[in-house]
Amino acid sequence: MMTERYSEIDEVIAYIHKNIYEPLPLSLLAGYIGYSPYHFSRIFKDRIGLPPLYYVSSLRLEKAKDLLLHTHLSIRDIALEIGQQSLGTFTTRFTERVGVTPSQFRNSMEEADKHLLSLQSLNDWRESMPIQNPNLTVEGTIEATAPFQGVILIGLFAKPIPEGFPLYGTLLPSVGSFRFTDVSPGTYYLMATSVPWGMQAVDFLLPQSTTLRTRSREPIIVTSNSKTRHLQVTLHVPRLDDPPILISLPLLMNHFLKRVAPVLR
């Protein structure tokens, strides 16, 4: 199994989590398991899908999200806490990868609750998705290792981590089939997570261990002259080697609600 490859990387991931507020240069991480930086970088990316330092920066942004919701620290102090000296750089990176500014994220709990309630009251989740070219369609089936009642957020991303707004995304009211049409030729990674009905906003704003999730280990290649294979993915409890979910889930909920609103009227 893929998760069994390079099991020593698990030791490094655990070390990163434990020391996330400390300096973590590549040489230190590689030396922790006795590898050269080059060899370590290669096997880390093969196992996780991301370069080591990009993974570290992703975890630090996840910690920043936590600090924004659970402390009264200023945004500048939070930036310093995660090792970012420039407030401007921190704000730019946070906004690009989470989808909202740090201050917007900090103040989004009430709106997040409203979005989940609005989704729960939807009777029709259909979107108008005409198929122009079957070869430019990505479709499949999503299942779950445990039953749940709620919403599934699923999308195609440019990198093997759910950050920034998905290039193509939608919401599902249950496990089953999904489809993205008119997908531009290119390379994508599928990511999905679940939010049960009644979940507190703080829990899906920080979906660290509270939501099921899945991701495609291999890139999805879309071309105009060949059909993409049917995908079968399964939502599972978070694993040690899963990348953090950086994108703000309420942002995706709001975007979907705006898309289906014309259909409902």
Domain ranges within the chain, ordered by starting residue:
7-106, 129-260
| Percentage with pLDDT > 70 across the chain | 95
Mean pLDDT value of segment 37-53: 94
Burial group, residue 22, by CB count within 10 angstroms (0-12, 13-18, 19+): exposed
The residue whose two tokens read 């080059």 is 38
Predicted model pTM: 0.90
Query: What is the spatial distance between Cα 40 and Cα 17, in angstroms, rounded to a whole number?
Result: 17
- How high is the mean pLDDT of the chain? 92
End-to-end CA gap in the chain: 48
Residues 253-258: what's their mean pLDDT? 93
Q: Is 112 helix (H, G, I), strand (E, B) or coil?
A: helix
The confidence score (pLDDT) of residue 240 equals 87
CATH number of 129-260: 2.60.40
Contact 217, 173 (CB under 8 A): no
7-106: CATH homologous superfamily?
Homeodomain-like (1.10.10.60)
Query: pLDDT confidence of 132, banded at 50, 70, 90?
Result: confident
